Amino acid sequence: MSTDVPSQTRDASAGGGPGGPRRGARKAGAESADRREVTQGRWAYTLLTPTLILLAVVIVYPIINAIVLSFQKDAGLDKATGFFVQGGFAGVDNYAHWILQQCGTENCPPGTLGSQFWSAMGTTFLFTVITVALETVLGFWMAIIMARAFKGRSLLRASVLVPWAIPTAVTAKLFFFMFAFDGIINTVFGTQILWTGSEWPARWAIIISDVWKTTPFMALLILAGLQLIPEQVYEAAKVDGAGAWKRFTLITLPLVKPALMVAILFRTLDALRMYDLPAIMTGGANNTTTLSILVVQQIRQGFNAASALSTITFLTIFLVAFIFVRFLGANAVESTNPRKK
């Protein structure tokens, strides 16, 4: 009787069953991949740690410090004793000073900084809504033109970015002279408008200046989104008989929406912090004071109250960003992993 063991039996005994060596190799390969992934993860954290520490020092610490200072009293004269005091814990008095417009136990008199909070808030959102709306429409139009293939397209794209490359302070001073009573605007249009001397002309002067400067930024971001749309999609739509308007509303807008919403988000957050243009062109006069201007003006009178106002401004901007990202789809970083159900 033969005592030879079948090769299949030997393979099974050596590898733990039929196909054992292959399963063992796959298992070893999976374990090796897991080890590599863990090693890469540790190496990534090692490389990111210095950057995270730097960001914590530059961003997180000032925010926390401003919040702490916002609950402290500003140094000044004590009305009861007439002596100079260093301050102390104020609770929510600084926040009530702005939100409730209270100066001590009374309402802030007209003309004081505390009485200008809601006016500055309204002016800030007015500038934001109008400028972002105009810049989105004009930027979309410019991006569609720059996305087409024609001779001199590179030169056009470079020239369009010139206003955005000019420093904001220079732009503000340029338009300050243009909107002067004897400036080029009144001269060309034959008007006699005191642009920076009354409320709505001053506001429109700032809006026009901001639109001129930052529309190229919107056009650049929207153009990046337009270039991601395959040309074959438009060709198929033309074959199906879709006109220009249908191609725009059914193809361009839906496909460019992610880039468009990110552009609107970035521009909105920037407009909510507007300072340079109104500060240089009008100095905040004629109801052109924004929250950023109010913060700078308050710093000269009391740093802790200014910290409270800057915290309110930060929370306002954060809330707007949260609404854009959570409800309007302005998510600049999309997750590549599908959500688990």
Greater model confidence, 317 or 76: 317
Find the range with the poorest average confidence among 119-133, 151-165, 211-225, 282-296: 151-165
Residue 143, SS3? helix
- Residue 123: pLDDT band with limits 50, 70, 90: very high
Q: Bridge-partner residues for 76, per DSSP?
A: 85
Task: Please give the pLDDT value at position 340.
Answer: 43
CA 114 to each of CA 26, 38, 184, 290: distance values in angstroms, whole numbers, following the listed order: 70, 55, 37, 13
Give the C-alpha separation, 66 to 68, whole Å: 5
Task: Please give the pLDDT value at position 14.
Answer: 47
Residue 5 has pLDDT above 60, yes or no: no
Q: What digits encode the pLDDT tens for the residues 16-48?
A: 455 555 665 566 666 677 777 778 888 888 888
pTM, to two decimals: 0.80
The closest alpha carbon to 199, from 96, 304, 123, belongs to: 123
| Phi/psi of residue 77, nearest 5 degrees | -80, 135
For residue 28, with 0-12 CB atoms within 10 Å meaning exposed, 13-18 middle and 19 or more buried, which class applies?
exposed
Residue 173 has pLDDT above 80, yes or no: yes
Longest dimension (CA), the chain: 121
Q: What digits encode the pLDDT tens for the residues 94-117?
A: 999 999 988 877 888 888 888 999
Task: Please give the pLDDT value at position 130.
Answer: 97
